[in-house]
Structure 1
């Protein structure tokens, strides 16, 4: 069964991000073998070149490394590197638009914090 992808983002980026998510969550650990390009092609039902492009970006970023004839593996420090990158991007990707919208709605900081806490509780209660 083909996986659903977001239309506003290239598929190779979404595949790269899915592998990154596995590393950040710890389901793919340092030194462990990453899914092969063939496995990802079969799972996502997409072109080999698309998958390879996303995986090669991870290699170029030092998140994965290749062992010739064996496959790709999670590099030492990959999880920390990804966490740091995501923390640095968090404000620009998520917070700026949220704060601007909260200001349009004339939400106080306290109301915004309360809304965040309430939403977080709902997420954890649904899980």
Structure 2
């Protein structure tokens, strides 16, 4: 399933492409050592410049989530899922939590109340 790119947002398109590819890997749509979409396929799918698509793929290659086979394309590394999971947990999720804590402090909401709000959220039950 294709992601919808937000061309009006602050997040660059190449990062959105990279994040979508990570999600595809995490969802099992691309397995270890399997070839992923080329920059030209991504450019056609999303009606974007191939250089933008390439930048997203190269970002993942720089993070050792993808690797290049000269003349053949980009492939998923053996430990890609683990790398993505660690990256999202340690960078993205921790950053979001930090934002929540800072906002709670600005609103003078106690730690206990924030924890209670998280516990009362039923998203985990809905997704299972």
TM-score (norm 1): 0.83
Contact 1:33 1:72 in 2 (8 A): yes
Which whole-Å CA distance do the structure 2 matches of 1:61 and 1:98 have between them?
A: 27
Distance 1:99 1:59 in 2: 33
| Structure 1 residues 1-127: aligned runs within 5 Å | 3-5=4-6, 7-89=9-91, 90-91=93-94, 93-119=95-121, 121-122=122-123, 124-125=125-126
> Any conservation in 2 of the 1:3–1:45 contact (CA below 8 Å)?
no
Deviations 1:19-58 (A, max 9, x none): 1122233332211211121221111110011101111121
Whole-angstrom CA distance in 2 between matches of 1:26 and 1:4: 21
> Normalization by structure 2: what TM-score?
0.82
Residues 117/25 of structure 1: CA separation in 2 closer, same or farther (3 Å cut): farther
**Number of residue pairs matched?**
124
